[in-house]
C-alpha cells in the first residue's frame, strides 16, 4: 500500500459508519505519532471489533491478535522492539474490558511501557450492539432489550479508575470527541500517553467516550453527542486526567 501522509486521507479510506467516533480517534492517533516523529516507527495491536477496520486505510505495522489480547500482545511487541518503536494497543470497550479484562489489568499491573487507547462506546459495536460491561443501567441493547438491569447484570465498570487507583502506572485519562475543544483535549491525552512511552515512564491508558450512532439508533450529529455530554460524562464517566504519576 502506498504511504498516505495525511491523516484525513487515511480516515477517508476506513469504512466506519457515519458519525462514528473511531474515525476521529484514528486521525488523532496518526497526528500524534506524526508530530512526535514516529510515523515510520510505530506498531499497533489492532483489536477485534470496529477497531479492526483501521487496517483498511492505515499503513502502520499491525498485529491482529485474538479478541481481548491487546494487553498481552502489546507487552510482547514492546518488550521485543524496546526503544525502536512506539506500541499502541487500540481496543474497544468490549475487547479491553470484557473479553480482555485479564490481559488489560495484567499489563497495567506490570506497568508495561505501552500506550492503550480504549474506545468506550458502551456496547459491542461491530457485532450488532450487544451489552458490554460499560453499558449504562437502563440502556437498551440487543441483549438487554428492556434496558440493562443492574440487579441481574451489575453496574458499568470503570477500568480507568480501577487502574488509576490500584496500580503503579504512569498515566490514566478519559476524553471524548463531542466538540472541537474536547477533541483537542483528547489529542493532548493521547500525545501525553505516547510521550510517556518515549520517556520510558510505563503504562498509559486513555479511554475515549465515543458515539456509536448505528447501534444507539440515534442521530450522529445531535442525539449521539448529547448522550455523551448529558448522560455518560455527568453520571458515569467523568472526563479529564485521572492519574499523572508524580503529581
Binding residues (CB under 6 A) for ligand TPP: these are 48-51, 67, 92-95, 119, 121, 123-127, 132
For the bound state, the minimum distance from the C-beta of residue 119 to ligand SF4, rounded and expressed in Å, comes to 8
Residue with cell 458499568: 156
Task: Provide DSSP, 110-162.
Answer: TT-S-EEEEEE-SSBTTTT-B--TTPPBT--BTTBTT-B-HHHH-PPP-HHHH
Options 93, 112, 182, 207; binder of Mg ion; rule CB under 5 A: 93
Which SS3 state, helix, strand or coil, does residue 224 take?
Answer: helix
The entry of ligand TPP, Mg ion, ligand SF4, none near residue 20 (CB within 5 to 8 angstroms by kind) is ligand SF4
Q: Which is nearer to ligand TPP, 142 or 150 (CB)?
A: 142
Shortest distance (Å) from residue 23 CB to ligand TPP: 12
Using CB under 6 A, which residues numbered 106 to 165 contact ligand SF4?
121, 125-126
Cell numbers of 213, please? 450512532
* Residues in CB range of 69: below 8 A, 6 or more apart: 45, 100, 103
State how beta strands 42-46 and 86-92 pair.
Answer: parallel
Residue 25 beta carbon to ligand TPP: minimum distance, rounded to whole angstroms: 10
Q: Which of 7, 10, 11, 16 binds ligand SF4 (CB under 6 A)?
A: 16
CA distances, 9 to each of 39, 57, 88, 190 (Å): 15, 8, 21, 20
Part of the chain binding ligand SF4 (CB under 6 A), chosen from 98-106, 135-143, 183-191, 207-215? 207-215
Q: From the CB of 9, what's the least distance to ligand TPP, in Å?
A: 22
Q: Between 121 and 204, name the residue whose CB sits nearer to ligand SF4.
A: 121
Residue 112 has which C-alpha cell?
508495561
- Say whether residue 224 binds Mg ion (CB under 5 A): no
- Residue 16's binding partner among ligand TPP, Mg ion, ligand SF4, none (Cβ under 5 to 8 angstroms by kind) is ligand SF4
Contact 189, 206 (CB under 8 A): yes
Coil vs helix vs strand at 52: helix
Chosen from ligand SF4, Mg ion, ligand TPP, none, partner binding at 95 (C-beta under 5 to 8 Å by type): ligand TPP
- Minimum CB distance to ligand TPP smaller for 114 or for 170: 114
Q: Which ranges of the chain would DSSP assign to H, the alpha helix? A: 7-12, 21-35, 70-81, 93, 101-109, 150-153, 159-166, 180-198, 213-216, 223-227, 233-235
Binding site for ligand SF4 (CB under 6 A): 16-17, 20, 22, 50, 121, 125-126, 212-215
Amino acid at each position: 500500500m502506498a504511504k498516505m501522509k495525511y491523516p484525513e486521507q487515511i480516515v477517508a479510506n476506513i469504512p466506519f459508519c457515519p458519525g462514528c467516533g473511531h474515525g476521529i480517534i484514528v486521525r488523532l492517533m496518526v497526528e500524534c505519532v506524526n508530530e512526535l516523529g514516529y510515523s515510520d516507527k510505530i506498531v499497533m495491536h489492532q483489536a477485534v471489533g470496529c477497531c479492526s477496520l483501521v487496517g483498511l486505510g492505515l499503513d502502520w505495522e499491525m498485529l491482529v491478535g485474538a479478541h481481548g489480547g491487546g494487553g498481552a500482545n502489546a507487552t510482547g511487541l514492546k518488550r521485543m522492539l524496546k526503544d525502536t518503536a512506539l506500541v499502541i494497543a487500540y481496543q474497544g470497550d468490549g475487547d479491553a474490558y470484557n473479553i480482555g479484562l485479564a490481559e488489560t489489568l495484567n499489563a497495567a499491573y506490570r506497568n508495561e511501557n505501552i500506550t492503550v487507547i480504549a474506545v468506550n462506546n458502551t456496547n459491542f459495536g461491530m457485532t450488532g450492539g450487544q451489552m458490554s460491561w460499560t453499558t449504562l443501567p437502563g440502556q437498551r441493547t440487543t441483549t438487554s432489550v428492556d434496558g440493562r438491569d443492574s440487579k441481574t447484570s451489575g453496574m458499568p465498570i470503570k477500568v480507568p479508575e480501577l487502574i488509576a487507583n490500584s496500580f503503579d502506572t504512569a498515566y490514566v485519562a478519559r476524553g471524548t470527541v463531542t466538540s472541537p475543544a474536547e477533541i483537542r483535549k483528547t489529542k493532548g491525552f493521547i500525545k501525553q500517553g505516547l510521550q510517556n512511552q518515549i520517556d520510558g515512564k510505563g503504562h498509559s491508558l486513555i479511554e475515549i467516550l465515543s458515539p456509536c450512532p448505528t447501534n444507539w439508533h440515534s442521530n450522529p450529529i445531535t442525539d449521539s453527542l448529547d448522550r455523551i455530554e448529558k448522560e455518560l460524562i455527568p453520571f458515569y464517566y467523568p472526563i479529564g486526567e485521572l492519574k499523572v504519576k508524580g503529581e
